[in-house]
Amino acid sequence: MRVAIALTIAGCSDTDRPMTTLAPKSDLAQWIQSLYIQVTTWDAIIFTIVIVAFILAVFVFSSRVGEAAPASTASSDLGLEIAWTLGPTLVLLMISVPTIRTIFRSQPAVPPKGALEIKVVAHQWWWEFDYPDGAKASNEMHIPVNRPIRLSLESGDIIHSFWVPQLGGKRDVVPGQINELTFVATVPGVYPGQCAEFCGLSHANMRFRTFVDSPDEFAKWDKDQLAGPVSISASDSLASDGAKVFADSPCTTCHMIQGVSKGYIGPDLTHFGARTTLAAGVLKNTPENVAKWIKNPQEIKPGANMPPLLLPGPQLNALVAYLESLK
């Protein structure tokens, strides 16, 4: 039975179904997977018993037309009464005990030793990740493999839900409350995530990615994030023009670029050029897409909390070149 379930699950490959919940890449996801298998096994056993009893009742122990009804035994058989009270109780215990244990294991009161603690802030409709050393990221979270990760989930506005299917279960993000999620990612890779609690117009566009890096890759990424933006080489006149466009634009009121602006309404753009996607994973980060986004964010993402900015073509091109240079 278990082998059959495991084989069926293994058939759901995770490369062509990146949002699968059946390809665990963390200890938490693995525990949840084994819960699925346990519960499905119990279900299958009970299903079989019920169907067999049903068939026997219909075809073997039923009275035929013209025959007398069989004598009732229900109220007199104490053994049976005890059996069908204890049986379901046992089954419920078998299901609830491991389930509740898994819930507690996913949020231990004390973070595991050596855990990396990351503050996650959910916004309509993007994700902010704040690292204990001051590094900041938006919509693309980097974590080291095989090290306990402790997420503190907060909301900047309304209820959202943090969910990376291959790394574990959903956890709601509730205003005025800090919810926690603890896990160890065990396989390097890029795992997509998605807000899983309806939060308005662009809820479906509130995606993100988790990069599970080797410890060295993670250390390098973290160091790059802590540094200011890579300085623009004097030869890149387009990007330097773009820096001026940015500094004189309303972009500065909402976006932080270290050493340039201090906005905090939208994502920190200090290392925007190093991200693979933009607008919470909705578009690939290419110059064409960034230009499209600046011209009309709402067309790409209904309701997006960024106003369209009508810039003349050359200024827009320069601004895009500047943003892409921010590695």
Residues at the interface with Cu ion (CB under 5 A):
160, 195, 199, 203, 206
Q: Counting contacts by CB under 6 A, is residue 319 touching ligand HEC?
A: yes
Two tokens, residue 282: 């909705």
Q: What is the H or E stretch that residue 219 is in?
A: helix 215-226
Find which of Cu ion, ligand HEC, none residue 195 binds, CB within 5 to 8 Å per kind: Cu ion
Q: Counting contacts by CB under 6 A, is residue 260 touching ligand HEC?
A: no
Q: Please select the residue that binds ligand HEC; options are 126, 127, 129, 218, rule is CB under 6 A.
A: 126
8 Å CB contact between 316 and 294: yes
256: amino acid identity, one letter? M
The interface mask with ligand HEC, positions 285-314, x = CB under 6 A, is -----x---x------x--xxxx-x-----
Separation between Cα atoms, residue 260 and residue 258, nearest integer Å: 5
Q: Counting contacts by CB under 6 A, is residue 26 touching ligand HEC?
A: no
Question: Length of the chain in residues, anyone?
Answer: 327
Shortest Cβ 20–ligand HEC spacing (Å): 25
What count of other Cβ atoms lies within 10 Å of the Cβ of residue 191?
Answer: 24
Separation between Cα atoms, residue 283 and residue 303, nearest integer Å: 16
| Among the listed residues 275, 279, 267, the one whose alpha carbon sits nearest the alpha carbon of residue 303 | 279
Q: Please select the residue that binds ligand HEC; options are 266, 270, 273, 326, rule is CB under 6 A.
A: 266
Q: Counting contacts by CB under 6 A, is residue 152 touching ligand HEC?
A: no
- Binding segment (CB under 6 A) for ligand HEC, from list 2-10, 18-26, 228-236, 248-256: 248-256
Q: Please select the residue that binds ligand HEC; options are 1, 103, 219, 265, rule is CB under 6 A.
A: 265
* Nearer Cβ to ligand HEC (39/309): 309
| Among the listed residues 219, 140, 145, the one whose alpha carbon sits nearest the alpha carbon of residue 185 | 145
Q: Compute the C-alpha angle 221/136/127, nearest 5°.
A: 115
Binding stretches for ligand HEC (CB under 6 A): 125-126, 138-139, 249-251, 253-255, 265-267, 269, 272, 275, 278-280, 290, 294, 301, 304-307, 309, 319, 323
